[in-house]
Chains A and B, each alone.
Chain A
């Protein structure tokens, strides 16, 4: 591992475990520092990358032939109008590009969502439920149809829930709870996946493992010492 990689590894490990330090249940300066570094770094990168893109693409096209690229001139002016938000007197001007961006976004997505969010979903629900050669698929398709109908019946609010509708409503409620459970499990899996991926970077190879152990001990000992023996200093260090 060369010196640059080593410094990067140490910084990355320190930032990660500083963020994890909030799990100790104590507000500490490590967490505050890492949090601010992350936010500052991300915003800085966004500004630099976006500005570079505007200069190398938008500005380059406008300066080469402003008449042919007149739509880009309008886009650039609208983009600059967004920046007026920082001045209370002219902040109203920022509403214009925001309105246009919202309008364009809604317009381009509405047509597509009708298909992907509605028609294709309905088409997928209309599946063959009588297929003797493949009983398992038939059963799955039947379950999809039954669960979609019962879940939909749960959202009927315009009439009193009684009789067969009550049974369907109850099944629909259970179906929804099952779906929420599956979604929660999926989210848990995702979070564990994130943790695993990060821990893998922090523990493999061996050099990273030693760096991680040293940094964890350093952070934990500092937090314990500051909390137990120097609570005033801890308070001052916390922003």
Chain B
């Protein structure tokens, strides 16, 4: 019996790594179809975006870098088209990360197509919305929290006269009545670096701007806290939240498929914890006492 406990305590960690890769690979390539329950937070986030009215202006923040894109892309590829599908809603795209514009354009490329007569950015049509008619991309503004604070205090001054590509956007901003931060009706922030705190501090507190937040798992505790306190109107947490949002919005994507692999890994972790603890208590601890 003690040899079994010894095996439990001394399993090479590389075995666990290999198991993780095998389970993820199997789960992704052969999805089983475990049931998915949509949580109240995601339902709320969906309802808030669904409540957008014609004439509303939404600012979408890409707080996304290379390290988090693969986790947040499920949310981006379902929430952004959902916002673009709302009739009469105007969209401003923005990124507080220097790598963010890459993922912003990747999203537009995946959910949209080049406008007639054009073949490159920014001239893309998404859900019937055309560039410089229904949406603009102000691109990257350095400074992270300082940039978000500066946008709140002097929106037009910080944005300037041109978009990320050098096109004049003054006429578009004037036509949509965007003079200051108070003219933005909603912020949707897709976070890898926890930008929601800055949006709450500089946009929610002074202007009561509605904020919906999708984030990677490691940023979740702070966002959940802000949501419970009522400063965020809806949250979409990690791949799990993205899968739920994809299910609700009907913009199906790979986040939904990856849920099976996700569940399998959760089971594996529980089993690994049990095996590790059994090995520790019945063999390793005894060895420590003997020595």
Q: How far is the CA of A200 from the CA of B246 in the complex (A)?
A: 16
Q: How long is the Cα–Cα vector from A38 to B74 in the complex, in angstroms?
A: 23
Per-position binary interface string of chain A over residues 14-45, scored 1 when its CB falls under 8 Å from any chain B CB and 0 otherwise: 00000000011100000000000010001001
Q: Is B125 an interface residue (CB 8 A)?
A: no
Please give the number of chain B residues whose Cβ is less than 8 angstroms from any Cβ of chain A in the complex.
59
> When the two chains form the complex, which single residue of A108, A115, A190 contacts B71, counting CB atoms closer than 8 Å?
A190
Q: Could you say which of A80-88, A129-137, A158-166, A191-199 contacts chain B?
A: A191-199
Cross-chain contact of B262 among A57, A104, A112, A196 (Cβ < 8 A): A196
A53 near B141 with CB under 8 A, answer: yes
**B265 adjacent to A192 (CB under 8 Å):** yes
Q: Given known contacts A53-B140, A190-B218, is B229 in contact with A197 (CB within 8 Å)?
A: no
> A residues within 8 A CB of B149?
108
Docked Cα-Cα span, A224 to B157, in Å, equals: 58
Given the complex, which residues of B lie within 8 Å of A238, measured CB to CB? none
When C-beta atoms are compared, the residue in chain B nearest to A101 turns out to be B146
Interface size on A, residues (CB 8 A): 45
Closest residue on chain A to residue B225 by CB atoms? A121
When A116-B201, A190-B220 are in contact, do A196 and B230 touch as well, CB less than 8 Å?
Answer: no
Cβ of B28 and Cβ of A204 under 8 Å apart? yes
Find residues 65-83 in chain B having any chain A CB closer than 8 Å to their own CB.
66-74
- Secondary structure call for the B interface: helix
Contact present for B218 and A187 (CB under 8 Å): yes
Quick one: given A112-B202, A209-B29, are A197 and B239 in contact (CB under 8 Å)? yes
Given contacts A53-B141, A121-B229, are A113 and B218 in contact (CB under 8 A)? no
Q: Tell whether A76 is near chain B: CB-to-CB under 8 Å.
A: no
B254 adjacent to A115 (CB under 8 Å): no
Interface centre among A42, A46, A186, A194 (most CB of B within 10 A): A194
Nearest CB of B to A196, in Å: 5
Q: Which of B17, B162, B226, B262 is in CB contact (< 8 Å) with A192?
A: B262
Asked if A50 and B98 sit within 8 Å, CB to CB, the answer is yes
Most buried by B among A46, A49, A109, A123: A49
A201: interface (CB < 8 Å): yes
Chain B residue, CB-CB nearest to A179: B221
B166 partner residues in chain A, CB cutoff 8 A: 56
Residue among B98, B141, B220, B261 with the highest chain A CB neighbour number at 10 A: B98
Q: B221: which A residues are within 8 A, CB to CB? A: 183, 186
Separation of A134 and B260 alpha carbons in the complex (Å): 35
A151 beta carbon closer than 8 Å to chain B: no
Closest Cβ neighbor of B228 among chain A residues: A124
A210 at the interface (CB under 8 A from B): no
B248 within 8 A of A: no
Tell me if A189 is interfacial: C-beta within 8 Å of chain B: yes
Contact between B71 and A116 (Cβ–Cβ < 8 Å)? no
Instruction: Across the interface, name the chain A residue whose C-beta is closest to B258.
Output: A196
- A195 and B146: CB pair below 8 A? no
Residues of chain B touching chain A, judged by Cβ–Cβ distance below 8 Å, are 13-14, 17, 20-21, 24-25, 28-29, 66-74, 98-99, 101, 140-142, 145-146, 149, 160, 162, 166, 197, 200-202, 204-205, 216-221, 225-226, 228-231, 238-240, 254, 257-258, 261-262, 265-266, 269
